[in-house]
Chains A and B, each alone.
Chain A
Amino acid sequence: MDGTEHRPWWSWYNNDFTGDGVDDYGTTEPFSPNPDNIDNFFDTAVSITNNLAFEGGSDVAAYRLSVSNVNANGVVPNSKLDRTNVSFNGSLDLNEKLQSSISVNYANIQGYGRPQNGYSGTNPFTSFNQWFQRQLDMDKLRQYRGDDGSIYSWNIRSTTNTRPLYWDSPFFSVYENYSEDERNRMFGNFGLSYEVNENLSVKGTIRADMYDFVNEDRTGSGGLDQDFYTIGKRSDREMNYELLANFNKDLNEFSVSGAVGGNIMTQTYSATIASTVGGLNLPNFFNLDASVDRPNITTNLQERSIRSIFGQTTVGYKDVVYVDASIRNDISSTLPQGNNSYLYYSLSTSLVFTELVDVPGLSFGKLRASIAQVGNDTGPYATNLTYGVGTPYGSNATLAVPNTLPNTNLKPAINTDYELGLELQFLSGRLRLDGTYFNSVKKDEIISLTVPGSSGFSSSLVNAGQFTTRGLEFSAAGTVVESRDLSVDLTANFATVYSEVNELAAGLTSRLIAGFGTIGLYAEEGAEWGKIIGRGFALHENGQRLVQDGFYVREANKDLGFFLPDFTGGFRLDTKYKNFDLGAFVDFQKGGKFYSTTQRFASNSGMIKTTVGDNELGNPRRDPVVDQSGAQQTYVAFDQAGAASGGTLVEGVDADGNPVKFLYDTQEYFYDLDYFREEYLLDASYIRLRELRLGYNLPAAMLEKLPVTRASFAITVRNAAMLWSATKGIDPTAASNGTTGFNFYEGGVLPAVRTIGFNLNLRF
């Protein structure tokens, strides 16, 4: 970036990029940085919400109708979201004993150009932080299509073949490879309730929840990838038919209430998904008819039903003791007959002991304890082996043995949560403490367990023995100042969790939770959940990194520690001064690890700060490594290096344990480091200012002359700032993996967005 004249990518096209009316082919420009180029790609997102509601009624009837619409443009160009909700609630008393109620809700969501996520060649965010160039000018990239229809990219194959090589222009990605989706959801219920007497009523309810969802995705013609179109239509319908008898009675100081009932649930899901194969025979004609080869089409129908019977009761004594108990039996269609009925219960109690005994200094004290169980079935068709329909060869159809072995002996899973809590208040409630200990036991959880592929299957559906998660949550809150004009409240909370696999399945003691090639996350029987195993730095017996031929030695299948954080928590501040209020929320995490492909490739391609600077000799690291004779080398022993040698320091021990030091060519250093997954397994500790809020209430005196009874204004900043993070450059909270549901793998994530909200509230 030293200002050297060079031919930029756009000088290889016959087009006028600079707007001076002259073909830019053959132009040169100085090589200089464009530090805000990524920022220039994004738009400022604006979201507008409108609500409207009507209410009305009479002695025997009431209704409410509301309509709302949210229209939002995303930070990514060409992305928008439109959401409309209509809801209607009504009730009508048919006579003194019989009452009917209805609720109908409709939601329509239309997405356009939803940003992509994850590591992919069509995701521009993968490019920006991993494979990009700092001098690129977004205004030039915006011109990705010429008047003659040819497509331009900054990353060309060669000076004579200007097709995109590895990357399209990011604007091509968002304007030509965009998706569209629309979901129509309708849900609601109709109920008839009959009051038998003042203690007993009976209610029948039908609930329906259904949606249809259409999504289309496309790859534009002329870009990096073969042009493509896919459309999926999915619909789902869930119906519940419930009959419930409710009772309640107060006996002296006891109150008793409860319900018994039954429910039948049915679910029907169907999908048709079709995509073009071999490209489109007419450029940018996004239709299945344009498929060059026979399109791929799959249809899928899934049905499921659960029959339930249940009872629940609450008994209270004064306002001191409460006992809640419930019991439920489900019978599921997805489990084998004979094994498909499962009973589960819950029992909880709370005792406000300060009502019974007077503890000096304590203004309120409450003890709670509970056991809660939930029974679970699995998805449909998991109990019988069926063959997968494969890709046909010409007119020959194919079938294949499935990769997941179904299980004809599946049992229902029962999850039991034990919880014990204590709540204390001192100084008339100005100091509040709350502590909870929990222990969650998952028994017979139905999981698809990765098994050695040499068995013929890659996974097997099993009832996994037992998983336990236990933890401690603690919060302390205090009202530090409380006066007429000023109040200050502080809250701190803290949580720590430990997870363990007690027992897996017969003959299997280790579970692969998520695998990413040479690094994976495992749960081993009898050990903490989330053990990371992958390729790392080989160590000498003395604990130092082994160095051979100037570089670290690789070791496969190395134990790299555990995934879960040591603890998490937060601080909250709420202050009020006269008509102003100010709130702030900070959250933090200590420990925990995530694996970052962004760091890995950004280092490999030399895009981040850690790849520049001076070395221990005071020379730029990116300068060539030279020995004392001045000859260029890939690496040189530190004491043999020329005075002007560049390179990056590699320090460790040789096979005999003796300390060694080398300077290694910096570009090669990061190429080679790429193979050490351990290097990019990063510390997920952070402290973040998650929310900041400033509000103002207009004093009543100012409103007297206005037709407004109340007026307030607030500014809210969400995700305000990362105050500190162990890993620089990557937001550990943004690391995500959709399929596994936890933050271990990061690859090309959309940067975290800071949202600033302005809220004006007027009441007439």
Chain B
Amino acid sequence: MKIFQKAFILLLAAGLTLVSCDDFGDLNIDPNNPSEARPDLLLTSALQSVSGLVGSTTGTLYVQYFAETQYTDESLYTSDQFDFNGWYTGPLANLDAIIKNDDATVNYKAVARILRAYYFQFVTERWGMVPYSEALLGAEDFQPAYDSQEAIYKDLINELKEATAQISTNAGVINGDILFNGDYGRWTRFANTVRMTIALRMSDADPAYASTEFASAVNAGLITSDVMYNHLEEDNNASPWYTRFITRTDYAISNTMADAMKGKSDMRLLKYADPAPNFDNGNGISESLDEIRGMIYGVNGSIAGSIENADVSFPGAAIRSQGSDLPVYTVAQVHFSKAEAIERGWISGSAAAEYAAGVAASWAQWGAGDAAAYLAQPEVAYSSANWQEKIGYEKWVATFPQGYEAWHEWRRLDQPVLTPAVDAVNNSKQIPVRQAYPATEPNINKENYEAAVAAQGADITDTKLWFDKN
């Protein structure tokens, strides 16, 4: 039996050595996910979020492009708090990873900076003061302070200038660019257009600065063709307007939009909306404006629910097909912005010509035919005396279906005049002029949240942002 005892002692010694070793080799290295990221894969991911930005619904309801069919909550301004966290943890974090990646070429970094500016502009225009200079620092700063909108805007303009200057055709191509397919000329013109838009947004808040930066951006060269986000004919990359209608029927063209366009015989409406089934001439394709029926906007659920789906027009195939492309920036928008800048004396040129070119470009964009007859109507024809009203209305129509962009411009120009939802449920019953911070911020980023509210005003949808002066 000695042999057992010896064996036992040996076993014990071996066991003790084994159980007291703290080295597990590569056992805790994740085999499921890479620990290095290629900039092109991060770039594609960051660009995919453009689809959600330009295809989101809330803005389209604020500016009354669409009306909800049965559950009208959003049209009645029910939601006040909106979550900005996803923009930071999603595209902005991915772009930041490219910018901080030593292996990424300057061109990746330049493109990432342009795109980062585009997303940050969107974030500040919805919430106002937001974390910017202290954002995206990970564990270095889990309590990021909020920056003023003025500071953010001005830094974005600077960023866009620096980024375009950084692009070097000698520094190689970029891959994964699903927006411009590596065309640096288009990236530069896109960056200048974003810069022009930010400058214009400051027209009331800091006109001198806005004027200089607007002219500088125009001189640097603006987009010459529509910037579209291309959706694919597959569900994972489909148009959000297609995805929304797979199982539900929540959004119809609003009566505000439909009636305004029908009153001016605006044939773009045939592209914006499908015929209402009960008024369809038989083939399901919009051929006359009479087939299009707007859904009454801003009514409560009991009224909305009493209106049959067959009596209203749903969004048209141009945006509601699986592979429908959605506009990011259009040539029409650029023309209208330039027309306004001419009226303001920031640049030289003919406002009337830019206005007409904008309308024509928009009709061309939608394949709505020749805009000449439309433009000839007295209620459409340009009038310098009423430039705000003329440009405001046409820009509103042309920006469809980019609800948020239209909302930003509506807040700045106060055109077209929109009537708030009659059955609004928010305390003020007014169309929101900003969105409130996510419910987590006053709790998990308390001090900075409170400082932002003290500087900007109450955290409600009626507090006007810095850029929105009247």
Contact = CB atoms under 8 A, between A and B. Distances in A.
B300 A668 contact: yes
A554 interface: yes
A299 to B, nearest CB: 7
Contacts of A391: 48, 236-237
A452 B310 CA distance: 45
Given A262-B15, A299-B32, A672-B425, A398 B48 contact: yes
A226 B247 contact: yes
Contacts of A262: 15-16, 18-19
Q: Name, among A158, A517, A549, the residue most crowded by chain B CB atoms within 10 Å (CB to CB).
A: A158
B191 to A, nearest CB: 22
Interface in B271-309: 277-278, 300-302, 308-309
B20 A159 contact: no
A405 B176 CA distance: 25
Contacts of A161: 277, 309-310
Nearest to A296: B236
A263 interface: yes
A388 interface: yes
Contacts, number: 281
Given A387-B34, A556-B80, A556-B459, A512 B444 contact: yes
Given A454-B130, A507-B142, A393 B85 contact: no
Interface string A529-549: 000011000000000000011
A294 B41 CA distance: 19
A337 B22 contact: yes
Interface string B427-470: 10100000010111111111000000000000110000000000
Interface stretch (B5-13, B55-63, B161-169): B5-13
B102 interface: no
A386 B439 contact: no
A455 B427 contact: no
Nearest to B444: A510
Interface in B74-115: 78, 80-81, 83-90, 92-94, 96-97
Nearest to A546: B427
A451 B16 CA distance: 42
A399 B235 CA distance: 19
Given A165-B249, A387-B35, A396-B176, A452 B142 contact: yes
Nearest to A549: B429
Nearest to B91: A400
A390 B43 CA distance: 12
A671 B89 contact: no
A397 interface: yes
Interface string A616-656: 00000000000000000010000000000000000000000
B144 A263 contact: no
A660 interface: no
Interface string B37-73: 1101110110110000000000000000000000001
A399 B41 contact: yes
B136 to A, nearest CB: 4
Contacts of B131: 452, 454
B84 A398 contact: no
B182 to A, nearest CB: 12
Contacts of A292: 235
A393 B236 CA distance: 8
A453 B443 contact: no
A460 B142 contact: yes
A735 B429 CA distance: 35
Nearest to B24: A333
A386 B34 contact: yes
Contact of A401 (B5, B87, B93, B139): B93
A400 B89 CA distance: 9
A340 interface: yes
A380 B90 contact: no
Given A331-B20, A340-B22, A457-B93, A533 B443 contact: yes
B256 interface: no
A157 B23 CA distance: 63
Q: Name, among B23, B44, B136, B436, the residue most crowded by chain A CB atoms within 10 Å (CB to CB).
A: B44
Contacts of A334: 28
A225 interface: yes
B33 interface: yes
Contacts of A557: 439, 442-443
Contacts of A707: none
B275 to A, nearest CB: 13
Interface string B304-346: 0000111000000000000000000000000000000000000
A456 B138 contact: yes
Contacts of A194: 4, 8
B21 interface: yes
Q: Name, among B85, B92, B248, B426, the residue most crowded by chain A CB atoms within 10 Å (CB to CB).
A: B85
A207 to B, nearest CB: 15
B171 interface: no
Contacts of B278: 160
A672 B90 CA distance: 33
B245 to A, nearest CB: 11
A315 interface: no
A105 interface: no
Contacts of A341: 22
Contacts of A340: 22
A277 interface: yes
25 contacts: A159-B310, A160-B278, A204-B11, A278-B234, A294-B234, A303-B27, A305-B27, A307-B21, A334-B28, A340-B22, A384-B28, A399-B41, A400-B45, A400-B90, A451-B142, A452-B144, A453-B83, A453-B86, A455-B144, A517-B439, A524-B443, A671-B301, A672-B425, A674-B73, A675-B78
Given A277-B234, A381-B29, 9 more contacts: A160-B278, A331-B19, A331-B22, A387-B41, A398-B45, A405-B139, A457-B89, A515-B439, A520-B440
Interface of B: 1, 4-5, 8, 11-12, 15-16, 18-24, 27-38, 40-42, 44-45, 47-48, 73, 78, 80-81, 83-90, 92-94, 96-97, 130-131, 134-139, 141-144, 176, 178, 232, 234-237, 246-249, 277-278, 300-302, 308-310, 423, 425-427, 429, 436, 438-446, 459-460
